[in-house]
Structure 1
Amino acid sequence: MLFKTVLAVIGSKDQAADIHRAIEVATKLGAHLSVLAVDLSLPPTVGDYPVGTAWLDNRVEDIKALHEAADKAKAACETAGIPFDLERYYTEKAFLADTVFRRALYADLVVMGDKTRAVSAILNSVVDGAVFDAQRPMLLLPGADRPVEKVKTVMLAWNSRAEAGRAAREAIDFLSNAESVHVVLVDPDASYQASGGEPGADVAAFLARHGVNVTVDQLPSGGRPVEDILRNHAVEIGADLIVMGAYGHSRLRERVFGGVTQSMLENPPVPVLIAR
């Protein structure tokens, strides 16, 4: 596998499921697991100045909880017997993306479980720092009730854009080792300039040269949201992994995601690998 270092970002609350999922992924990949335990400090409100003891007490409790979560994550890694390192950061939201960026530079893959993703401020900062700034692929893991299976069937969401192309390249190891890969195009643009003579044929040929067993699925939306089409098709083909580009743009350091990206970030039906 090409993924030799996996960076797992976990929070300080309900982190047990997320760290165990990250350990599971690192073990399957035979990779070193780099754990980043984070929590966000709440700035005092205007009415709190001068800063009162209640706000300081909350910070002390937050830091204590973060240290406890990090200690439990360390124990879980030691029990699993995998190579790992661990750091903890208690920081403000404005600085978290940069912290993740600097750690993601030295990772091949970033993973996040559903408990950590439930905190939107952490989720958006991690995507900002890892996917947009460090240009690293991110694996979004579903709930603990859905184990990380061997990747036999992959669905590649394709629209002939740069983000989709980068996602395909980042996931090429998964694609070439899968039993089948479905390249899915929703309402594809049939113009030659957009998708070649036949939508999906170019990327299928590219993947086939890597030994990928590829099928092209052109799907009509019928006016339904693209994310719904992708979710339903992933279930129909029994996909173990969805690969897709991350779409959005920067606005004053806040990322604004497209509907498909945001939907998959918040509630992926199966593990989703996104890249920018």
Structure 2
Amino acid sequence: MTIKTVLTVTSPDLGEADLKLAATLCEEIEAHLAVLIVALAAPPPIGEYAAVVSDIWLQERQADLAKLKERSDAVSTWLASSRVSTDISSEYQEITWSDEAIGRRARYADITLLGPDMLSHDTLKEKVVEGALFHSGKPLLLIPDGATATLKPKRIMVAWDSRVEASQAVAQSLDLLTVAEEVRLVLVDPTEGEDAHGAEPGADMATFLARHGVKVTVDRLPSQGKAVASVLRQHAADMAAELLVMGAYGHSRLRQKIFGGVTSSMLGEPPIPILMAR
């Protein structure tokens, strides 16, 4: 995947930090920056009090639209001074359908970027994640606060579990992997067998990557009773990785919410920039 268009999502409640970050990354690789401004509409009133509060609800929606227009104008002015190619669009969406609207827009970008500001916006963050991962077919890039962001990482860690989601993440990050100086294919508690990692865990994917010219090393790590996410975090720190590539939601979203999982943990507290795909 050659990155030529980066989508970043913002809202009337957020500042310019994520936009500046996205613009810097686009300038680094000479890519186009697409900005989507999303305002989430309050659900319509129902029940016996609906008639009483309907006027207030309509006033709130009008105020939301005014804020969205004001934010769009401000972002347009800011983008006009940017040194990269840009475009801007906006959506006023009901919360229920906002992930699909975001996903439709993300189909026309190579990757969707979530910067530190969006990662702190719980409701909209969830909708952007779901839209990008479940409705666009494109990867998602998370950049936490304080991380050094680059789309030319020298050291990349790939979390490999032999699932289709991890395979998609590898395929969609291949251009980044081929130019990296070091790539670690990391397996936690891998199991041998035809239905798991094969006769030699990690060997098949390492061979695939090597054929593409990737400088890859396989690291098989024991969890020793720790959560897989904790093991991955520590290994990323140990190798000073600049990017973590991983598949998202190998288990259902419901199971992730109830029992937790690697995806939920990484979305909650990404240790370094993470490229997710499914």
Q: Same fold (TM over 0.5)?
A: yes
**SS of match in other structure, 1:190:** coil
Q: Which residue number in structure 1 is paired with residue 184 of structure 2?
A: 182
> For the residues of structure 2 that align with 1:134 and 1:146, how far apart are their CA atoms?
26
1:108 to 110, 113, 119: 110
Identity of paired residues, percent? 41
Q: Return the offset for 1:245.
A: 0.2
Which string of whole-angstrom CA distances, capped at 9 and with x for unpartnered residues, describes residues 120-173 of structure 1?
Answer: 332232222221222111111111x33314411001000011000010010001
Gaps of 5+ in 2: none
Name the CA distance, whole Å, in 1 between partners of 2:64 and 2:256: 26
Q: How far has the Cα of 1:225 moved from its partner? A: 1.0
Report the counterpart of residue 264 of structure 2 in structure 1. 262
More deviation, 114-123/29-38: 114-123
* Residue number in structure 1 paired with 2:241: 239
Tell me which residue corresponds to 2:50: 49
Aligned CA RMSD, in angstroms, stands at 2.2
| Count of matched residue pairs | 273
Runs of 4 or more consecutive aligned structure 1 residues displaced over 6 Å after TM superposition? none
2-side partners of 1:125 and 1:241: how far apart?
A: 23
**1:137/1:273 contact within 8 Å kept:** yes
One-letter code aligned to 1:200:
G
Aligned residue in 2 for 1:15: 15
Comparing 90-99 with 61-70, greater Cα deviation is found at 61-70
The secondary structure found in structure 1 opposite 2:225 is coil
Please report how far the alpha carbon of residue 44 of structure 1 lies from its aligned counterpart in structure 2 after TM superposition: 4.2
Task: Name 1:131's counterpart in structure 2.
Answer: 133
1:14 shift after superposition: 2.4
Greater shift in the superposed pair: 157-166 or 12-21: 12-21
CA distance, structure 2, for counterparts of residue 235 and residue 85 of structure 1: 36
Question: Which of 16-25 and 176-185 deviates more?
Answer: 16-25
Is the 1:118–1:266 Cα contact (8 Å) retained in structure 2? Answer: no
Instruction: Tell whether 2:29 aligns with 1:29.
Output: yes
Asked if structure 2 preserves the Cα contact closer than 8 Å seen for 1:153 and 1:180, the reply is yes
- Tell me, yes or no, if structure 1 residue 75 matches structure 2 residue 77: yes
Q: How many angstroms apart in 2 are the aligned matches of 1:45 and 1:148?
A: 43
Give the distance between the partners of 1:118 and 1:179, measured in 2 at CA: 32
CA distance 1:176–1:92, shift in 2 (3 Å): same
Cα pair distance change 1:181/1:32, threshold 3 Å: same
Instruction: Report what 1:200 is aligned to.
Output: 202
Secondary structure of 1:182's match? strand
Alpha-carbon distance between aligned partners in 2 of 1:192 and 1:255, rounded to the nearest angstrom: 26
Once the 2 structures are TM-superposed, how far is the Cα of residue 12 of structure 1 from its aligned partner? 1.9
Q: Does 1:92 align with 2:94?
A: yes
CA distance in 1, matches of 2:77, 2:199: 55
Contact kept? 1:8, 1:19, Cα under 8 Å? yes
Counterpart of 2:14, as a letter, is D
TM-score in terms of structure 2 length: 0.90
